């Protein structure tokens, strides 16, 4: 996926996050990712990963403690960072 697309997704999820992301909801829609609905947990994961890839200098500001899981995924080859 091109970095500009990832950045667009990152900022779109950030806009959704301004209203709060409820982990008990499983019907979030991100316009940049067609034909996909996200649970709250999935959306938080996409939020973290998109920022870690596209805007890594600000990922710490998200307040999500997913660094260890992200690094593990990178090492396993699931993500190309």
pLDDT at res. 74:
86
Tokens 């992200």 locate to 70
Taking the C-alpha atoms of residue 67 and residue 45, their distance in angstroms, rounded to an integer, is 11
Specify the pTM. Answer: 0.86
Cβ 28 vs Cβ 37: under 8 Å: yes
Give first-to-last CA distance, the chain, whole Å. Answer: 12
For the chain, the domains span 3-79
* pLDDT tens track for 4-40: 999 999 999 999 999 999 999 999 999 999 999 999 9
* pLDDT tens track for 49-75: 999 999 999 999 999 999 999 988 888
Cβ 12 vs Cβ 29: under 8 Å: no
Per DSSP, 28 falls in state: E
Name the pLDDT band for 80 (thresholds 50, 70, 90): low
């Amino acid at each position: 996926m091109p970095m500009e697309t990832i950045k667009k997704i990152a900022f779109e999820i950030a806009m959704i996050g301004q209203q709060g992301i409820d982990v008990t909801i499983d019907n979030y829609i991100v316009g940049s990712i067609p034909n996909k609905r996200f649970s709250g947990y999935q959306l938080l994961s996409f939020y973290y990963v998109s920022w870690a890839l596209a805007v890594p200098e600000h990922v710490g500001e998200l307040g999500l403690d997913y660094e260890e899981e992200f690094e593990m995924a990178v090492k396993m080859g699931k993500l190309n960072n």
